[in-house]
């Protein structure tokens, strides 16, 4: 079969699936913003696309999200026209539709079956917006903005033949009747790579850490409240007192992945570091290590070393 994947950051969640299908003899193509030119990856032909413009200055803030997704959808649409002209007709399209790219693919290939990766359906209450009273909504119009963010989801319901979600909870956020089209399929774990290693080690400066050390790890793409960074940081004064030999390894950047930044500027990393630093003795603070963003080949040993891994979301 001809199989088309669409993911702005390919391979993303399709890291295992796309190469597996290629190994089985299928003709697998992936459209992505990750590569500036056509190339191949593990038997998958990569087709690049890029937005031709940015968001409109001064546009209504509630519809910035949908305009951005429309711009991406147009870019993907026009790149798809080129590969159709070259003779590619997919039997199946598997898309992470969260950024909008797959919105118009059925206009090009109306007979193709479209499956969408159903990661999240936005809700004004009870999910990610109002879960933490410390970051309560101050704009009464926020539920309106959340409602409009679902335009991309809702428009995909009309064209998608099926959906997949990695967890039952994520699938449960989607409304009926489309919910009945979603199958829960985990992304998969390569247990040959993500597996215990008694010999794992990690060097920090002149210090070598091994499985004999007491290590607590915390990993985010960016260190921010959405991922519970503030909760973890506020627990450190007690942890450092009660575990005098523990080392804390914190992985993550200082940018924003979700939500807004601190009202006074700067980064959430610095805000909560400044809050807890006076509560921790200088000698203990030396056992806290901010590693920034690290490559995958260092991430696996980090987890293999971890005595306790903390994940708050």
- Residues whose CB is less than 8 angstroms from the CB of residue 23 and which lie 6 or more positions away in sequence, other chains included: 43
Last residue of a domain, one of 128, 155, 184: 184
Q: How far apart are CA 202 and CA 182, in angstroms?
A: 41
The pLDDT of residue 147: 92
What are the tens digits of pLDDT across the range 226-258?
899 999 999 999 999 999 999 999 999 999 888
Whether 161 and 31 share a structural domain: yes
Beta bridge partners of 308: 216
| pLDDT at 47 exceeding the cut of 80 | yes
What is the mean pLDDT of the segment spanning 123-141?
79
Q: At 301, is the secondary structure helix, strand, or coil?
A: helix
The pLDDT of residue 135: 79
Residue 206 lies in a domain: yes
Residues 22-26: contacts with CB within 8 Å, 24+ apart?
Answer: 26/1, 26/2
Q: How far apart are CA 214 and CA 305, in angstroms?
A: 9
Band of residue 4 on the pLDDT scale cut at 50, 70, 90: very high
Q: How far apart are CA 293 and CA 251, in angstroms?
A: 6
Residue 189 lies in a domain: no
Whether 61 and 90 share a structural domain: yes
Whether 226 and 275 share a structural domain: yes
Are 54 and 134 in contact by the 8 Å Cβ rule? The answer is no
Number of domains in the chain: 2
| pLDDT at 78 exceeding the cut of 80 | yes
What is the mean pLDDT of the segment spanning 197-201?
93
The pTM for the full model equals 0.88
Whether 69 and 10 share a structural domain: yes
Q: How far apart are CA 140 and CA 144, in angstroms?
A: 8
Looking at residue 33, the DSSP 8-state letter turns out to be: S
Residue 192 lies in a domain: no
Whether 23 and 164 share a structural domain: yes
CATH no. for residue 250?
3.40.50.2000
CA separation, residue 37 to residues 32, 40, 50, 79, 81 (Å): 10, 10, 10, 12, 16
Closest by Cα among 131, 132, 142, 90 to 113: 90
What is the mean pLDDT of the segment spanning 32-55?
91
Beta bridge partners of 209: 202
Residue pointed to by tokens 């400044």: 274
Whether 238 and 180 share a structural domain: no
- Residues whose CB is less than 8 angstroms from the CB of residue 91 and which lie 6 or more positions away in sequence, other chains included: 1, 2, 3, 112, 113
Provide the residue range defining the domain that includes 117: 2-184
Whether 124 and 161 share a structural domain: yes
Range of weakest confidence among 3-7, 202-206, 232-236, 305-309: 202-206
Whether 143 and 264 share a structural domain: no
Last residue of a domain, one of 184, 219, 252: 184
Residue 120 lies in a domain: yes
Q: How far apart are CA 49 and CA 71, in angstroms?
A: 11
The pLDDT of residue 100: 97
Whether 212 and 280 share a structural domain: yes
Looking at residue 257, the DSSP 8-state letter turns out to be: S
Residue 194 lies in a domain: no
Whether 174 and 274 share a structural domain: no
What are the tens digits of pLDDT across the range 169-190?
999 999 999 999 999 999 988 8
What are the tens digits of pLDDT across the range 253-312?
999 888 778 888 899 999 999 999 999 999 999 999 999 999 998 999 999 999 999 999
Residue 305 lies in a domain: yes
What are the tens digits of pLDDT across the range 147-166?
999 999 999 999 999 999 99
Whether 89 and 167 share a structural domain: yes
Whether 127 and 267 share a structural domain: no
Residue 191 lies in a domain: no
Last residue of a domain, one of 184, 215, 240: 184
Q: How far apart are CA 130 and CA 108, in angstroms?
A: 40
The pLDDT of residue 77: 98
CA pseudo-torsion sign 20, 159, 152, 162: negative
What ranges make up the beta strands (E) of 42-194? 44-48, 92-95, 113-117, 162-165, 182-184
The pLDDT of residue 285: 97
Residue 147 lies in a domain: yes
The pLDDT of residue 286: 96
């Amino acid at each position: 079969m001809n199989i088309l994947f669409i993911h702005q950051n390919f391979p993303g969640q399709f890291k295992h699936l796309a190469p597996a299908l290629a190994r089985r003899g299928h003709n697998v193509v992936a459209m992505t913003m990750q590569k500036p030119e056509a190339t191949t990856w593990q038997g998958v032909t990569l087709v690049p696309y890029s937005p031709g413009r940015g968001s409109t200055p001064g546009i209504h803030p509630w519809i910035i999200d949908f305009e951005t997704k429309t711009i991406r959808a147009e870019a993907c649409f026009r790149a798809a026209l080129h590969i159709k002209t070259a003779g590619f007709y997919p039997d199946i399209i598997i898309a992470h539709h969260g950024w909008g790219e797959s919105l118009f693919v059925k206009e090009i290939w109306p007979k193709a079956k479209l499956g969408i990766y159903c990661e999240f359906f936005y809700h004004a209450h009870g999910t990610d917006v109002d879960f933490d009273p410390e970051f309560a909504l101050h704009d009464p119009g926020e539920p309106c903005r959340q409602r409009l963010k679902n335009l991309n989801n809702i428009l995909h319901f009309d064209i998608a033949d099926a959906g997949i979600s990695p967890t039952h909870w994520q699938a449960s956020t989607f409304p009926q009747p489309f919910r009945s089209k979603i199958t829960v399929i985990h992304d998969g774990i390569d247990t040959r790579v993500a597996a215990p290693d008694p010999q794992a080690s990690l060097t920090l400066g002149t210090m070598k850490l091994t499985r004999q050390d007491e290590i607590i790890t915390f990993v985010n793409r960016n260190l921010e409240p959405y991922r519970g960074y503030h909760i973890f940081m506020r627990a450190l004064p007690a942890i450092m007192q009660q575990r005098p030999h523990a080392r804390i390894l914190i992985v993550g950047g200082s940018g924003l992945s979700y939500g807004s930044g601190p009202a006074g500027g700067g980064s959430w990393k610095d805000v909560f570091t400044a809050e807890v630093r006076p509560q921790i003795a200088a000698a203990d603070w030396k056992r806290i290590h901010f590693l920034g963003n690290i490559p995958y080949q260092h991430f696996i040993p980090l987890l293999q070393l971890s005595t306790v891994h903390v994940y708050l979301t």
